[in-house]
Amino acid sequence: MSRNSVRSKFLHSHKAVGRLLVASLMGAGLVIPLVGSSSSAASSRKASGTVDVLYAGSFLDLMEQHLGPAFHQATGYTVSGYSAGSSALANEISGKTVVGDVFISASPSVNASIEGASKGNWVTSYQEFGLSPLLLAYYGKSKFAKDLQTKPWFNVVDLPGFLLGRTDPATDPKGVLAVDALEGTALTHDIPALNTLATSTSNVFQETALVGDLQAGQLDAGFFYGVEAAAAHLKTVPLKGTDLSAEYTVAILNRAPHETAAKAFVKFLLSATGRSILKKYGVTPIVPPVVSKASSSPSTTTTALATTTTTS
């Protein structure tokens, strides 16, 4: 027998024994790692740790119930969130009473208060990524519910006994828009009582408490963004005669303690998956997001984005 024939029989026998061994081990319920499987497992391993997101109060339910869990499932990172009025958050960032990685505001103008060396240089650039309309949400069991469903909102909210809630314009952009809606409509329709509602302080509530107060029936109605109403399943009517919206921005704060996690969060927020969640819960995505540099004028604002922030 030739040397090549002997070698061929040996290899054939060796492979057969190998196949029997693999079959026996698999039958016993043992997993046989393939060559290169360790590198594949490493590449699919998710990250761990937290990202501290400071976000507008109108994002509370959306972040806790939908965005945060979806981000964790996709990446392994966990959102540690802190929510308040956008302006109030900016003040806390500036005063170093809160520390965060990412800042989500309901108004682009808020970012100016933490831009530049004289203001702590917390934000170098931000991205405007979504819009959500200002609406009037009402308590379904309110005695005024039918009136709100059948009459213009501005002919109902000034009725005797009507309890209308809004947020503080000094701490929350939504409070500013609510005042704009009341004062603008008062002028357009000659309803002085709306000006009184716009200046009263008795109807001002904390942003993060307003949803709960309405759901508990402590208010007949309140001013909310569509994102809040959708996430909390509130009944709403449009503010006819107005065209006011939240303009959401996101920024990675300078000196972010968890910069890698912060970048992952922004990437997810602006991805196809993130946009799908936003759209489902009352935020119209801006695609591509509008990028603004610190202290930029509208003429220097650009829609250009790094490709890593818009991938799915």
187-244 pLDDT per residue, tens: 999 999 999 999 999 899 988 889 999 999 999 999 999 999 998 899 999 999 999 9
User: In this predicted structure, what is the pLDDT of residue 298?
Assistant: 39
Give the pLDDT band of residue 45 (cuts 50, 70, 90).
Answer: confident
Does residue 108 contact residue 277 with C-beta atoms inside 8 Å? no
Q: Which residue has the higher pLDDT, 299 or 289?
A: 289
Taking all residues of the chain, what is their mean pLDDT, rounded to a whole number? Answer: 84
Identify which of 56, 49, 110 has the alpha carbon closest to the alpha carbon of residue 75: 49
Percent of the chain beyond pLDDT 90? 74
pLDDT, average across residues 131-147: 97
Looking only at the bridges linking them, the beta strands covering 50-56 and 78-84 are parallel
The phi, psi pair for 121, rounded to 5°, reads: 50, 50
pLDDT in tens, 239-259: 999 999 999 999 999 999 999
pLDDT per residue as tens digits for the range 57-82 = 999 999 999 999 999 999 999 999 99
Q: What is the mean pLDDT of residues 150-168?
A: 96
Q: In the prediction, which pLDDT does 111 show?
A: 95
How confident is the model at residue 89, as a pLDDT? Answer: 95
- Identity of residue 133: P
pLDDT of residue 5: 44
* pLDDT band at residue 48 under the 50/70/90 scheme: confident
Query: Would you say 231 and 191 are in contact if contact means Cβ atoms under 8 Å apart?
Result: no
Structure token digits, residue 194: 């709306």
User: Does an H or E element contain 37, and which?
Assistant: helix 37-44
> What pLDDT does 208 receive?
81
Q: How confident is the model at residue 36 (pLDDT cuts 50, 70, 90)?
A: very low
Q: What local confidence, expressed as pLDDT, does residue 261 receive?
A: 98
For residue 248, the cross-strand partners are: 130
Rounded Cα gap, residues 86 and 294, in angstroms: 17
What is the model's pTM? Answer: 0.78
**For the segment 70-115, what is each residue's pLDDT rounded down to a tens digit?**
999 999 999 999 999 999 999 999 999 999 999 999 999 999 999 9
Burial (CB count within 10 angstroms: exposed 0-12, middle 13-18, buried 19+), residue 76: middle
DSSP 137-197: EE-TT-TTHHHHHHS-GGGTTTSTT--EEEE-TTT-HHHHHHHHHHHHHHHHHT-HHHHHH
Question: For the chain, which domains are there?
Answer: 47-132+247-309 (3.40.190.10), 133-245 (3.40.190.10)
Q: Would you call 298 helix, strand, or coil by DSSP?
A: helix
* Spatial separation of the C-alpha atoms in residues 210 and 80, rounded to whole Å: 22
Render pLDDT for 169-188 as a digit per residue (tens, 0 to 9).
999 999 999 999 999 999 99
* 24 has a pLDDT exceeding 70: no
Contact 134, 283 (CB under 8 A): no
